[in-house]
Chains A and B, each alone.
Chain A
């Protein structure tokens, strides 16, 4: 029965014009790319939803999201795959691009699955960053240390989850 239904669907799809097919594809699909300089997680894959942390607040992206640009904040990106599984990946910084054809690019400087994060090492990094912030002199050094603290805090938070 199911196969019969599928075949009728296929026939219906085939009888529709190519433009119809095209627009249908865009209606419920998301061309998702998630890459970091160290690893590629998704390349033009179709997924259900992705939650991203950005400087203008965390938000979820579903297919057909309004086109936007945003800058990634250190934090955890959650990807809900088509099969129902979800994946949590820590990102340090990067960009989010949602285009009008429903293609989404999340590009990070560095990204790792949160399972790979060592909690105690993350806390140590945070401590080092905090001590660096307190000793930093000069605007640039201070800003750099503040960023390090921000990333380390996000790391600890991600490792705790």
Chain B
């Protein structure tokens, strides 16, 4: 004991000058580490419960989406079979872009992807050509587009995403949309593929005029203006309903993945912080022991 205490006392003596300062700092870090540890643990608890919630919501959204898929396909069948979608590209003025997002964040890049697609579209427009209007469904798309393209935003629909979208929501949006009097347009949304993947896609939005100009329309029997208008209005609502369902499902699945990743990252941080915490605590204990021992050795 005495034998080895000699060099240790020397070492402690060397360190002695800095001890007061360092000990202070160490004491502080110990407290700081424990505080951080606590907050990270809380964050993990939150992300974990958010993951559970979105998992439950996702299960419901996926079930409802399976119901809505044939619906959306049914609407699009006429577009494809009548060749009306090809007619859209020619009509360039008075375009309308509908962004399907929600009010809620913390769900990966779903909203950013929608906004990015629209931003690319708008940046291609020259200043002198008539500008496209943007219809934002959900606050997130508005927040993402407002800085650069505030003058393009025509209507914003709020309160989206807390509850699963219904046909009533879709018809409210469709009602506003029809009043904008667009010539051609499209809906930008996230198509749900699997739990871990989705794809940002667009579906064409046709006005009654473009529908009447469809190349194969003369094949169709007994069509007049009134029928076409009602048909188009319902089609818009049905398409919106379908895209909202797709987007809601992608959002929930994406949030689930994002929250899962966040929980994993928090767990990793907790592990590292616990290690640092224990190491620092041990260092403090060791130092105190050394001080006592060296003090006792100095007295002898």
> What residues of chain A have their CB less than 8 Å away from a CB belonging to chain B?
33, 35-40, 43-44, 55-56, 66-71, 93-95, 97, 99-101, 103, 105, 107, 109-110
A68 surroundings in chain B (CB, below 8 A): 220-223
> What residues of chain B have their CB less than 8 Å away from a CB belonging to chain A?
67-68, 70-71, 73-75, 77-78, 81-82, 166-167, 171, 216, 219-223, 227-228, 230-231, 234-235, 237-238, 241
CA distance in complex: A63, B73 (Å):
20
Q: Are B81 and A37 in contact (CB under 8 A)?
A: no
A70 surroundings in chain B (CB, below 8 A): 222, 227, 231
Q: Among A33, A37, A97, which residue has its beta carbon within 8 angstroms of that of B241?
A: A37
Q: Are A33 and B70 in contact (CB under 8 A)?
A: yes
Q: Are A35 and B70 in contact (CB under 8 A)?
A: yes
Residue among B68, B77, B237 facing the most chain A CB atoms (10 A cut-off): B77
Q: Are A69 and B227 in contact (CB under 8 A)?
A: yes
Q: Measured between C-beta atoms, what is the minimum distance from A103 to chain B in Å? A: 6
Q: Among A43, A71, A101, which residue has its beta carbon within 8 angstroms of that of B231?
A: A71
Q: Are B231 and A33 in contact (CB under 8 A)?
A: no
Q: Measured between C-beta atoms, what is the minimum distance from B229 to chain A in Å? A: 9
CA distance in complex: A109, B234 (Å):
9
A71 surroundings in chain B (CB, below 8 A): 227, 230-231, 234
Given contacts A37-B241, A68-B222, whether A99 and B227 have CB atoms under 8 Å apart is: no
CA distance in complex: A126, B227 (Å):
27
In the complex, what residue of chain B is closest to A68 when comparing beta carbons? Answer: B221
In the complex, what residue of chain A is closest to B229 when comparing beta carbons? Answer: A71
Q: Among B73, B221, B238, which residue has its beta carbon within 8 angstroms of that of A33?
A: B73
In the complex, what residue of chain B is closest to A107 when comparing beta carbons? Answer: B74
In the complex, what residue of chain B is closest to A33 when comparing beta carbons? Answer: B74
B219 surroundings in chain A (CB, below 8 A): 67, 100
In the complex, what residue of chain B is closest to A37 when comparing beta carbons? Answer: B167
Q: Are B234 and A93 in contact (CB under 8 A)?
A: yes
Q: Measured between C-beta atoms, what is the minimum distance from B109 to chain A in Å? A: 29
Q: Measured between C-beta atoms, what is the minimum distance from B289 to chain A in Å? A: 73
